[in-house]
Amino acid sequence: MKPVEIKKNIFWVGAVDYVSRDFHGYSLSPQGTTYNAYVVKDEKTVLFDNVKEGFLSTLLCRLSQVVEPEKIDYIVCNHLEPDHAGCLPELIKLCKPEKIYCSPMGKRSMEAHFDIEGWPVEVVKTGDSINIGSRDIHFVETRMLHWPDSMVSYIPQDKLLICNDAFGQNIASTERYADEVDRAVLEHAMTEYYHNIVLPFSPIVIKTLDLIAEMKLDIDMLAPDHGLIFRGDDVQWCLNKYREFAEQGWKKRAVIVYDTMWHSTEKMAYAVASGLESEGVPCRIMWLKSDHHSAVMTELSRCGAVIFGSPTHNNGLLPNVAKMLTYMKGLRPQNKIGGAFGSFGWSGECVKQLTEWIGDMGFEMPVEGVKVKHVPKHDTYQDCYNMGVEIAKALKEKCGE
């Protein structure tokens, strides 16, 4: 369990979790994740963040190869979520730091999670800085990116931004740098992480990126608390990718999301897809019994339209569809066209309820939903096909075609 020197006298001392398969409600299969922590050796030795409970021994093994834990002078808590601060009480007992730095909201979070009586906590705000010898550490609050307590730490002498959950990805590997893995794998992991965790805070992401630009921070390394570290030219690539994610521009692609009982709704989904294809709009069909809701959100990142299908079940929607809608609504995707379809046996509320859900999310609906009693026949297939055509036309107009 070797530490990794990422800059002169700055080391990664985190833990790799190959086993975890759930992260904030989205599936990590088959990746796992990492809990990154960093230590800076100077006149004062500083530990940035720590690891999830259960990984303390791994952290201490790596840390002790760099510095005796008892010689840690300061601990910086950029974020108090348990996967980054789960071992904080044990570390404080062991290290007995002179100071523990956190944001104003970080102190509140610390008080909520731990008994901090006697802890040498010092609150820092945007614009505050400390000197640790040959280096300065500048603090910038990034509230709601993605917790109220979040902040980043910038070391100008090393052009290093230690950025907690910002720019993270869930990748469990022995590689430490983004340029050491396949770019498609990295981009997928970034997309998945952003669209299942950070998406609701996109306006804050844009403000933060603008603030970094305004402050003219010279950055040649981004060190997040999950996943791989960005260095060199990859830094600007990462910043650009985050802006692209946050702006949520229109995209000429659709996803059809459905569940079915006796395959009638499923057959309708394929007819809608045919209509989209006929207008040159690529689409993917995702069945919620086999596709996890986090996979749907990752696919939605590439799509300007999402079309939901469900049969009526107990005067409502099938549970998988209701779960998907609840999850998606909480993540607040923007700039989407929606559609609804489904079958029913006797009461037929499904399409009305789908339409209401889609409307509540602020999606545009250029065509009325399609529903059928029992089994679709030629006329129903034609209606579904026409729905796909109309949604495709509306989407192409949004994309400037």
- Positions annotated as catalytic residues are 24, 79, 81, 83, 146, 165, 193, 226
Closest CA to 282 of 258, 304, 254, 251: 254
Q: Tell me if 382 sits within 8 A of 374, measured CB to CB.
A: no
Rg (CA), the chain: 24
Q: Which residue has the tokens 């608390």?
A: 225
Whether the CB-CB separation of 303 and 249 falls below 8 Å is answered with no
Q: Across the strands, what pairs with 398?
A: none
Whether a cis peptide bond, with omega within 30° of 0, leads into 79 is no
Distance CA 219, CA 217 (A): 6
CA atoms lying within 13 Å on the CB side of residue 360: 12
Tokens matching residue 74:
């300061």
Tokens 């679709």 locate to: 376
Task: Reply yes or no: is the peptide bond before residue 333 cis, omega within 30 of 0.
Answer: no
Lookup: tokens for 130: 């400390």
